[in-house]
Each structure stands twice: as structure tokens, then as C-alpha cells.
Structure 1
Amino acid sequence: MDQFTSPQIGLALRRLRKKHNLTQKDLANGICSQAEISKIESGTHSPTVDLLYALSRRLQVPINTFLDHTNYRESLKILDENLLVRFRNSEFQSIYQETQKMINSSPLDRELNLLVRYFYYLSSYRLKKIDYRTCIIGLQQLSEYYSTLHYSPSMILRIKSAIAILHFENKSYKHSRTVYEELMELDFDSDELIVERIRIHYNYSKILMKLNAVEKALLVVEEAIKISLFEKDMSLLGQLYSQKGECQELLNFSFDEISNSYTKAFLLFDLMEIREYRQIILETKFKFIKNALE
């Protein structure tokens, strides 16, 4: 796990230890070595997240007691990024164990509790410990509670997007569409949410195609392409052009129009070295892109 680096942690730990009339040996017992406690208190060593949770549990305080606001939010961001990368790498078992431990081991402040439970529910579902309906109920409760807090809207988007994806994966397309339409109504005025805005358009378009609302799907994907070009964001542009080509095929557009979309998708995948998607276009849409390869 990543480490907390606030220089105030050592001072806070020492103050709390003395408040509880504990020696360094008492505090360390069964958790770590006395030497490690000494190093943390002297500011020469930074505790890991796991260690800080264990110490906060023994001292019966929330973890944010050790941190000032700025360092706490930075540490929260580090934890979020760490869990997100591991989730994308399908490290569900370790995420499940860590988040379960966090939930059970120490009082958590509201924002940290919501973040930890978000990953807990999703990892539980991926490990088949809960079904998708139970996972959705848990995420909906988080979303409702999170909306009462005045933090960045990015977490609301992530929670609702996860709900929509769960519906989609389980072929509950109408419910997924409803959630994406709710997401489309949200305000995306922050630069950090541009990619999320594009991704929501992309996924919403896929749902519409599943429901045979292909003309609507094409309008949505064209809007996403427009946003991507305006914002100079290429992260999903290849996928968007590929999806545009699929819509055009279903709507019987001209060969040249379809070819133009798939060719742009292929060239973008090639440019960005997204080999898997490049190969799919090459194998399944070769007739539309062969002129570009000659």
C-alpha cells in the first residue's frame, strides 16, 4: 500500500499515545515493532495505510485524526488511485480483503467510508460474493448518501456509471439506459470530468444500440466525437469512430461514409498503439479500410 507522508502524523501519534497512557511498546504490541513507532513519532518514517489503520483502531480514533485537511485529501487521492489501478488489473481479492479490513477495523470519516465501500461492493460482486442486484442496492445507497455531501461530483459519476454498467452486463438494458440518461443531465463544467462526459456518451450510445434505437445512438456518438475534437481528447476517439461506423452500417449509410468512420478508427488505434481494437477492425471491417492500407 502507499504511505502517508504528513510530517504531523508522528506528532499526532505521540500525543494520542500519551493521552491513552501507552508506552511505545504497548502501542506496537501485535501491530509492528517498537522501533517503527519510534521512527514514526520522530518523523523519520512514514506509516503505510494498513499500519495507520491498525494504530487508529488501537487508539480508537478515525484515521483523519492524524492528518491535516490538505494532507488528508492528498492521502485519500493516493488511496483512490491505488485501488482504481488494482481494480482495473482485476486484483479483486486483495481489494476485497483490504476494504473489508478497513470497514471493520476502525471508525472512518464519511468520505473515506464511501470510497472504501464503493470498492468493497464492486470487488465483492466480481468475486461472486454478492449478486449484481445486491451490489446495485449498495451503490445506490452510497450515491444517495454521497449526494448529501459537498465533494467533487466525480465520485457520483463513478458510482452511477458503475450501476449502469452492472445493469448492462446483466442485460438489463432499459434500467441501464435510465441511469445513463440521468448521468447525461448532470453538470460537467469541470475540466477533470471531460473524459467522464465522453465515456458516458460512448456507453449510452452502446445501450441505445442494444435497444435498437440506432438513430439516437448515432446522434449521441457524434456528439461525443464533437466534444473529443473540441477538447483535443483522443482517449476514446477511436472507439467512438468505430461505434459510429457500426451505427452507419445498421442504418444503411453509403459505403464511403462507413469506410470513412472505420478508417479513422483504425488509424487512431494504430497511432495510439491500441493493438486489440486495431486487430478487431482489421479482421472484421477489412473491406471498409482496405483502401487505406494499400
Structure 2
Amino acid sequence: MNHLPVSIGYEIKRLRKEKKITQAELCEGICSQAEISKVENGKNSPTIDLLQQVAKRLKVPLSMLFQDHLRSDVFQSYDEQLADLLRTNQYVDALKLSEHVLSTTEYEQVRNLARYYQVIVQERSGQIHYLKAVQSLERLLNKEQLWFESATLYLRIQMGMANLYVEHGDFELADDLFQNLIQAKYETIELKKVRIKILYNYGQQLSLQKKYLAGLKITEQGIQESLQLEDGHFLGHFYFQRGYFKQQLNGDLSDIQRDFTMAYSLFCAFDMPIHEKRLLEEYAEYVLFPI
């Protein structure tokens, strides 16, 4: 999905609400309200002529409608850098980068991302208790406009809270959060991809609780939705999970072999050597065609 129409739509909606203009007022004499609604939701790519008229109605330069695209690029860049530092346990560097973002960037969406990572890193490195980390994330969730500015980050913060509960054995609280997340509506492809990660993490929790049948159902859902979106990021993990759950439930041997073999093939295809190695170390007997 092209991100540009989504980012332009976001900026039009943001400016319209900032100026207290309704959709009907914005589109009067320009286009139908249905069309402007689709543009704001990223479902239609607006023409330059339409953008010029909208910018004029909003009394802003045309270039301002493209600001969110730049903001999103900055967000993605820092997100990738901070995620890499967190994944490799480089906590000092992660905190330094978070502080740098907070002191230099003007984009509140990116600053909130840095605050999120800052809390997670502080908890992981033992600087704060996990309950204090949860409280900090709750305060971040309660910030005005967070959902509107970045629904993806809003969901990730909730998932981060659930994961903290799981890591510290508070499964009941984690389950409540995961259930709320799963029952929420996900209307864009970007949000549906976040939902896939939520399903995977919930499956991990159910595995720790030895709730194998419930975990199997969640994993089946994750596989189905990944295939529907043609998103392979978690597909190997889901097949691994399904193989594990079926094994624990004494399922059909050929089904278990098929799942672990599929997981192994996907780990190889997506260049995930750590997961590939772990699978072979623990479940090589179920892999039909190891390389």
C-alpha cells in the first residue's frame, strides 16, 4: 500500500480539525463528502487539482499537506534504529538516542515513540520497576491526540504493557489487555499488521500458561490473517507456534512435521538464522528437509 495517500489524508484531517472545519464545509464546491472522507482515510489518491483546492480552503500552502510523509519517514528511521539497539541489548546507546530524539525533533509523534522506547529500555536494564514502567506507559497512552496522531504507536504501547505483565507473570492483567486489543477494529492495512504481531505475542503468553488449545486457535488466526495480507513477517513464527501447540496436544505427526518444516523454510527464506538454528536444535526430528 502506498503510504503517501495515507499521510496526505492524515494531514488534511489534522488541519481540518485544527481549524474546526467539518468535512461538509471543506468539500463544499470541491468534491463530494464521500470522496473527501476516502481521501482523509487514505483510501483514495487525490489529484493535484483537488489538493490545491483543499489547501486553499484550509488556507495553508500546498506543501503543508505533504508534511506527514516527512514525519513518517523520520518516525520509521528512529523506530528501526531504536528497535535494533533494544534487540541487541545496547541499552546505553538506546537511551542516548531516545534523549537525542526528545531534544531535537519537533514532531510530537516521533517524540512519543522515543518516550515509549525510553520506558522499555529503562525497565529492561533494571533502572525502573516494571510496575513503574506500566504506569509510565499508561500516562503516555492518556496523552491527548495520541490515538489520532499515531494509532499504530497507541496499539504498540498497549501491547508493550501486556508484554511487561507476561514477562513478570501477571497473566490475568496481560490477558485482559490482549483480549481488548484483539476485539478492537483494525480498518487499515498498517493497523492490521500490528494486529498480527498482537496475535503472535498473545500466542506466546498462552504458551507460557500452557493453554495450548487456546494458543492453537490464536495461532491459526494469525496464519490466516498473515496470508490474507500477504505479510510474511510473522508467518514462520506462527507455523513454529502451531507445530509446538500441536505437539503439546499430541496432534497428528504429519501435521506437526508440516508446520515445523514450513517454519524452517520460512526462517531460511527470510534470513532468520537465530530462529532457524533454534528450530533445528529443538525440533530437528520434525523437519523433513533440513539444509
TM-score (norm 1): 0.68
Aligned 8 A contact 1:262 1:288 in 2: yes
- Do residues 86 (structure 1) and 81 (structure 2) align? yes
Aligned length, in residue pairs: 225
Instruction: Write the deviation string for residues 90-144 of structure 1: whole angstroms up to 9, x where unpaired.
Output: 24324423544665x6997754553342233223223332221111101011112
Distance 1:223 1:232 in 2: 14
What does residue 198 of structure 1 align with? 196
Distance 2:248 2:134 in 1: 32
What does residue 249 of structure 1 align with? 247
Which one of 68, 90, 100 corresponds to residue 73 of structure 1? 68
Aligned 8 A contact 2:82 2:97 in 1: no
Aligned 8 A contact 1:125 1:132 in 2: yes
Unaligned runs of 5+ in 2: 1-62
Distance 1:106 1:263 in 2: 47
Distance 1:202 1:158 in 2: 13
Amino acid at match of 1:251: L
Aligned 8 A contact 1:125 1:131 in 2: yes
What does residue 117 of structure 1 align with? 115
Distance 2:70 2:122 in 1: 24
Q: Which has the larger radius of gyration?
A: 1
CA RMSD between the two structures: 2.6
Which one of 122, 126, 134 corresponds to residue 136 of structure 1? 134
Aligned 8 A contact 1:245 1:258 in 2: yes
Write out aligned runs for 1:193-272 (5 A): 193-272=191-270
Shift of 1:260: 1.2
Shift of 1:278: 1.3
Aligned 8 A contact 1:173 1:210 in 2: no
Which one of 171, 174, 181 corresponds to residue 173 of structure 1? 171
Aligned 8 A contact 1:83 1:119 in 2: no
Amino acid at match of 2:277: Q
TM-score (norm 2): 0.69
Residues 1:266 and 1:179: Cα distance change in structure 2 (over 3 Å): same
Residues 1:250 and 1:75: Cα distance change in structure 2 (over 3 Å): same
Instruction: Write the deviation string for residues 221-268 of structure 1: whole angstroms up to 9, x where unpaired.
Output: 001101111221111111100000111011110211111111111111
Residues 1:106 and 1:227: Cα distance change in structure 2 (over 3 Å): closer
Aligned 8 A contact 2:165 2:171 in 1: yes
- Do residues 292 (structure 1) and 289 (structure 2) align? yes
Shift of 1:187: 1.5
Distance 2:173 2:81 in 1: 28
Residues 1:148 and 1:82: Cα distance change in structure 2 (over 3 Å): closer
Residues 1:72 and 1:223: Cα distance change in structure 2 (over 3 Å): same
Residues 1:280 and 1:177: Cα distance change in structure 2 (over 3 Å): same
Q: Identity of paired residues, percent?
A: 20
Distance 2:94 2:273 in 1: 29
Aligned 8 A contact 2:91 2:121 in 1: yes
Unaligned runs of 5+ in 1: 1-67
What does residue 180 of structure 2 align with? 182
Aligned 8 A contact 1:157 1:183 in 2: yes
